[in-house]
Amino acid sequence: MKLLFLFTIVACLQAAATGYGQTVSLSLRNAPLEKAFKEIKRQTGYHFIYTRNQLHHTKLLTIDVKDGPLLQVLEKCFRNQPIWFIVEDKYVVIQNGKKSSPLPDSGSMAFNLNGRVLNEQGQPLAGASITAKKSGQQTSTNGRGEFVLKQLNEGEIVLISSVGYQSQEIPVKKQRELLVRLKVSVSQLDETVVMAYGKTSMRLNTGNISRVTAAEIEKQPVSNPLLALTGRVPGLMITQRSGLNGAAVKVQVRGQNSILQGSEPLYIIDGIPFAPGNGRLNQLENSTSEIGMSPFNLIGMDNIESMEVLKDADATAIYGSRGANGVILITTKKGKPGKTRLTANLSMGISKVSRTMDMLNTKQYIQMRREAFMNDGLVPSADPRDPGYAPDIMVWDSTRYTDMKKLLIGGTARVSNARVSLSGGSSATQFLVGAAYQRQTTVFPTDHGDSKASANFTITHSSTNKRFAIQLNVNYLADENKLNEHDMTSYTNLPPNMKLRDEQGNINWQEGGIPYKNIVFRANPLAALHMTYRGKFKNLVSNSEIRYELINGLTAKLNAGYNNLVGNEYLARPSTSIDPYSSNLPYAYFANRTFTSWIMEPQLEYQTLLGKGKITSLIGATWQENTTEGIHVMATNYTSDALLGAISGAGNVRTNNSFQQYRYTALFGRINYNFKNRYLLNLSGRRDGSSRFGPGRRFSNFGAAGAAWIFSEENWMNRAKKILSFGKIRGSYGVTGNDQIGDYRYLDTWTAYSNTYQGAPIVNPTALYNPDFAWERNKKIEAAIDLGFIEDRLMFSASFYKNRSNNQLINYTLPIQTGFNSILKNLNAILENRGFEFQLTTKNITTKRLNWTTAFNISFNRNKLVSFPGLSTSSYANTYIEGKSVSTRQFYVYKGVNKSTGIYEFEDVDRNGIFNKEDRIHSGNIDPQYFGGLLNSLEYKGLTLSVFFEFRKQRGYSFLNTRTVLVPGLGLWNHPLAVMERWQHPGDQSSIQRFTTVSGSTAYRNLVSYLPRSAAFIVDASFIRCKNIAISYKLPAKAIKSLRIENLTVFLNTQNLFVLSKYKGADPEIQNLLILPPLKTLVAGINITL
Closest CA to 627 of 297, 278, 275, 269: 275
Tell me the average pLDDT across 614-618. 93
**pLDDT tens-place string over residues 581-613:** 888 899 999 999 999 999 999 999 999 888 778
Coil, helix or strand at residue 394? helix
Asked if 630 and 592 count as a contact pair (C-beta separation under 8 A), the reply is: yes
Q: Using H for helix, E for strand and C for coil, what is the string for 264-284?
A: CCEEEECCEECCCCCCCCCCC
Predicted model pTM: 0.84
Please work out, in degrees rounded to the nearest 5, the angle formed at the alpha carbon of residue 37 by the alpha carbons of 36 and 43. 90
- In a 13 Å sphere around the CA of 675, the CA atoms on its Cβ side amount to 11
Give the contacts of 55 (CB within 8 A, at least 6 positions apart).
32, 33, 34, 83
The strand pairing partners of 438, in sequence order, are 417, 452
Q: Using H for helix, E for strand and C for coil, what is the string for 193-254?
A: EEECCEEEECCCCCCCEEEEEHHHHHCCCCCCHHHHHCCCCCCEEEEECCCCCCECEEEEEC
Amino acid letter for position 460: T
- pLDDT at position 165 is 81
Return the minimum-mean-pLDDT range out of 346-355, 715-724, 859-868, 1021-1030.
715-724
Q: What is the mean pLDDT of the chain?
A: 89
Q: How many CB atoms sit inside 10 A of residue 637's CB?
A: 13
Closest CA to 1012 of 894, 903, 918: 894
Q: How many CB atoms sit inside 10 A of residue 878's CB?
A: 11
What is the spatial distance between Cα 843 and Cα 853, in angstroms, rounded to a whole number?
A: 4
- pLDDT at position 11 is 36
**pLDDT tens-place string over residues 661-689:** 999 999 999 999 999 889 999 999 999 99
pLDDT at 274 over 50: yes
| Burial per residue of 220-256, b for 16 or more beta-carbon CB atoms within 10 angstroms, e otherwise | bbbbbbbbbbbbbbbbbbbebbbbbbbbbbebbbbbb
- pLDDT at position 965 is 58
Residue with more model confidence, 360 or 877: 360
Tell me the average pLDDT across 1062-1078. 93
pLDDT at 317 over 60: yes
The strand pair at 327-332 and 266-269 is best described as parallel
| E strand intervals along 405-553 | 413-425, 429-441, 449-462, 468-481, 510-511, 514-515, 532-551
Q: How many CB atoms sit inside 10 A of residue 89's CB?
A: 10
What is the spatial distance between Cα 634 and Cα 588, in angstroms, rounded to a whole number?
A: 6
Taking every pair of C-alpha atoms in the chain, what is the biggest distance, in angstroms?
A: 118
How many H helices and E strands in the chain? 11, 55
CA 822 to each of CA 171, 767, 813, 874, 881: distance values in angstroms, whole numbers, following the listed order: 74, 9, 4, 12, 21
**pLDDT tens-place string over residues 461-502:** 998 888 899 999 999 999 999 988 889 999 999 999 999 999
The single-letter DSSP state of residue 575 is: G
Dihedral of CA 178/181/187/193: which sign?
positive
Tell me the average pLDDT across 390-396. 94
Asked if 959 and 1064 count as a contact pair (C-beta separation under 8 A), the reply is: yes
pLDDT at 1005 over 60: yes
- pLDDT at position 2 is 40
Coil, helix or strand at residue 1011? helix
What is the spatial distance between Cα 47 and Cα 54, in angstroms, rounded to a whole number?
A: 16
Return the minimum-mean-pLDDT range out of 236-240, 301-305, 965-969, 1049-1053.
965-969
The strand pair at 47-49 and 91-96 is best described as parallel
Coil, helix or strand at residue 5? helix
What is the spatial distance between Cα 699 and Cα 1018, in angstroms, rounded to a whole number?
A: 43
Q: Could you give all domains of the chain from N- to C-terminal order, each with its CATH number? A: 23-96 (3.55.50.30), 111-186 (2.60.40.1120)
The single-letter DSSP state of residue 224 is: -
**pLDDT tens-place string over residues 762-820:** 888 888 888 888 888 899 999 999 999 998 999 999 999 999 999 888 888 888 777 78
Coil, helix or strand at residue 1076? coil
Instruction: Give one word for 758, left, alpha or beta, with left for phi > 0 and alpha for psi -120 to 50.
Output: left
What is the spatial distance between Cα 917 and Cα 908, in angstroms, rounded to a whole number?
A: 11
Give the contacts of 70 (CB within 8 A, at least 6 positions apart).
19, 20, 21, 22, 23, 24, 40, 44, 46
Tell me the average pLDDT across 960-983. 86
Q: How many residues are listed for the chain in this entry?
A: 1090
What is the spatial distance between Cα 144 and Cα 124, in angstroms, rounded to a whole number?
A: 5
First to last CA, the chain: 43
What is the spatial distance between Cα 162 and Cα 183, in angstroms, rounded to a whole number?
A: 10
What is the spatial distance between Cα 597 and Cα 1081, in angstroms, rounded to a whole number?
A: 35
Asked if 737 and 780 count as a contact pair (C-beta separation under 8 A), the reply is: no
The strand pair at 129-132 and 889-891 is best described as unpaired
Phi and psi for 1068 in degrees, rounded to 5? Answer: -70, -10
pLDDT at 262 over 70: yes
pLDDT at 13 over 80: no
Closest CA to 690 of 198, 312, 319, 314: 319
Coil, helix or strand at residue 543? strand
Confidence of residue 963 (pLDDT cuts 50, 70, 90): low
Tell me the average pLDDT across 980-1009. 93
- pLDDT at position 19 is 43
| Burial per residue of 890-909, b for 16 or more beta-carbon CB atoms within 10 angstroms, e otherwise | bbbbbeebeeeebbbbbeee
- pLDDT at position 89 is 66
Amino acid letter for position 1036: P
**pLDDT tens-place string over residues 622-675:** 999 999 999 999 999 999 999 998 999 999 999 988 899 999 999 999 999 999
Confidence of residue 12 (pLDDT cuts 50, 70, 90): very low
The single-letter DSSP state of residue 1007 is: I
What is the spatial distance between Cα 99 and Cα 606, in angstroms, rounded to a whole number?
A: 37
Asked if 450 and 246 count as a contact pair (C-beta separation under 8 A), the reply is: yes
Residue with more model confidence, 851 or 68: 851
- pLDDT at position 42 is 84
What is the spatial distance between Cα 391 and Cα 511, in angstroms, rounded to a whole number?
A: 9
Long-range CB contacts for residues 434-440, cutoff 8 Å, separation at least 24: 434/302, 434/303, 434/333, 436/300, 436/302, 436/303, 438/223, 439/414, 439/415, 440/223, 440/245, 440/351, 440/413, 440/414, 440/415, 440/416
What is the spatial distance between Cα 417 and Cα 221, in angstroms, rounded to a whole number?
A: 10
Return the minimum-mean-pLDDT range out of 131-145, 533-547, 919-933.
131-145
pLDDT at 856 over 50: yes
Please work out, in degrees rounded to the nearest 5, the angle formed at the alpha carbon of residue 241 by the alpha carbons of 240 and 246. 80
Tell me the average pLDDT across 962-981. 85
**pLDDT tens-place string over residues 214-251:** 999 999 999 999 999 999 999 999 999 999 988 999 99
- pLDDT at position 99 is 65
The strand pair at 83-88 and 91-96 is best described as antiparallel
**pLDDT tens-place string over residues 156-188:** 888 888 877 888 888 888 778 888 888 877 677
Asked if 484 and 411 count as a contact pair (C-beta separation under 8 A), the reply is: no
Tell me the average pLDDT across 38-52. 83
Confidence of residue 998 (pLDDT cuts 50, 70, 90): very high
Coil, helix or strand at residue 315? helix
Amino acid letter for position 1069: E
- pLDDT at position 186 is 66
Identify the helix (H) or strand (E) that includes residue 897: strand 894-897
